[in-house]
Each structure stands twice: as C-alpha cells, then as structure tokens.
Amino acid sequence: MSRGKRVVKERKLYPGYLMVNLEFNDRMLYLFRETSGVGDFVGGSYNKPPPPMSDREVERLLNSQLGPQERTTQIDKAPFE
C-alpha cells in the first residue's frame, strides 16, 4: 500500500542468473568466463560442461513468466461437477 493505493511490483524470478540457449563449445565457454560480472556456469566445472536444463524445467520456467490467461493448463474434470 502506498498512499492508500495498492501497488503491484514485479520481482525477478532468478536474480543474478542468465538463461541462455546456445551450442556449447570452447569459444562460448571462453566468452562467458571472460565477461565481466559473469561468475561461471551452474553445475559445470573447469573441464566439465554444465548439464542442460531438462524440458520440464524449461517448461516450468516459461510458464512462470506468462500471465494466468496465457498459461497452458489442462483440466480433465472440474472439481464442482
């Protein structure tokens, strides 16, 4: 509440994280590691590439970014029937 009015603020879902879809190779690894402000890949090590996100994780992430009317939800049976 601000001055008696309801205020809606957006929050970042994963602050400080960068989600990218790329072909992972040595050049991309060097580009990301040498970029100022970028720490490292989640789940990877110096000699091991990071694992890709599963399709389920990507779908959940994309659905969380959509508004309620845009989400794809399947309803088999309404609870009030």
Helices (H), the chain: 26-33, 55-65
Residue 25 pLDDT grade (very low, low, confident, very high; cuts 50, 70, 90)? confident
Q: Is the pTM of this model over 0.75?
A: no
**What was the pLDDT predicted at 58?**
87
Whether 19 contacts 57, CB under 8 Å: no
pLDDT tens digits for range 57-73:
888 888 877 655 555 55
- Check residue 53 and report its DSSP letter: P
**What was the pLDDT predicted at 56?**
92
Rounded average pLDDT over 10-25 = 82
Whether 13 contacts 64, CB under 8 Å: yes
pLDDT tens digits for range 34-56:
888 877 788 877 777 888 889 99
- Helix (H, G, I), strand (E, B), or coil: what is residue 56? helix
Structure tokens at 64: 């969380």
